[in-house]
Amino acid sequence: MENKIKRESHLVPPRTEAIRLSDYLGGVFQSIPSRKGMKKAIKKQLVFVDGEVASTAKYLYGGETIDLYEEAKKKSTLQLDLGILYEDEDLAVVNKPSGIVVSGNQFRTLENALPNSLEKSTKIDRLAFPKPAHRLDFPTSGVLLVAKTQGTLASLKKQFEAHQIQKVYHAICIGEIPQKGYLKSPIQGKWASTQYEVLERVASSKYGYLNLLEVQILTGRRHQIRIHLSEIGHPILGDVQYGKESLTSSGNGLYLHASSIQFQHPITQVVVSISQMLPKKFKKIFRSLNSWYN
């Protein structure tokens, strides 16, 4: 069975009547629950009955062992030093560096670095390669949730859609912004809500003031925090896309960091909270952050 990996096994219980394999397989395997999907697997010679390649016409009488295999895929992987903040058989939380996309058609993506950074799951519904459950912008750093099994991925996506996963960001923005704010405006035709609080403020000869913000997004639109802060005249430091041209900062990237995430583990149902300290470039502006690194 070269180039094949066993995914699931099933023992057919005793039967009073024989049944055609293609009629029996609907709902038997977690990884391919549909009959249509299993017919495709049979056609690809990924289904074996008692160790022999199966056909759709084979009859089952009870007592047979059905094995479902998957093709061993090849994937170009990227060597990248990722910080692993949490990992188990079902999922992981990694520290995404700034300056890399999460996924896409190009080779240099965080997704392509995951197989070299994480342990393979042994679960029967494991994904061929770990898959990010959400995205962070190219210039944004911080915590990123990764699924290692199909069931976990589906569950996490449902939690995101229901806004049950809490994410906290930290950002440095420009100007004398109010101490607290609730921002609500449409982004690409869909309403988006962001709330923030100023944790610390320092005077700046170039920017007037720089503010360390703690931010929570109540919706998950693309570039939401960056757009909302720019709309009220207080763009994030280093934002060349949404910032003011005369007040852009170059060389240190975007000062936006996903600092924590909280979610319910899809398997154990335990609430998991993971945090990652702010990048060191933040402490160069706010000296009070030095204690984070001692």
Q: Taking the CA of residue 30 as centre, how many other CA atoms within 13 Å lie in the half-sphere pointing to its CB?
A: 13
CB atoms inside a 10 Å sphere around CB 14: 7
The rounded radius of gyration (Å) of the Cα atoms in the chain is 24
- Please say whether the beta carbons of 69 and 47 come within 8 A: yes
The answer to whether residue 23 is catalytic is no
Q: Which helix (H) or strand (E) is 288 found in, with range?
A: none
Alpha-carbon gap, residue 167 to 165, rounded angstroms: 7
- With H, G, I as helix, E, B as strand and everything else as coil, classify residue 125: coil
**Tell me, what amino acid is at 226?**
R
Structure tokens at 150: 């199909």
CB atoms inside a 10 Å sphere around CB 226: 22
Dihedral sign, Cα of residue 278, residue 222, residue 160, residue 88 = negative
The one catalytic residue among 67, 90, 125, 137 = 137
- Please say whether the beta carbons of 282 and 276 come within 8 A: no
Catalytic residues: 137
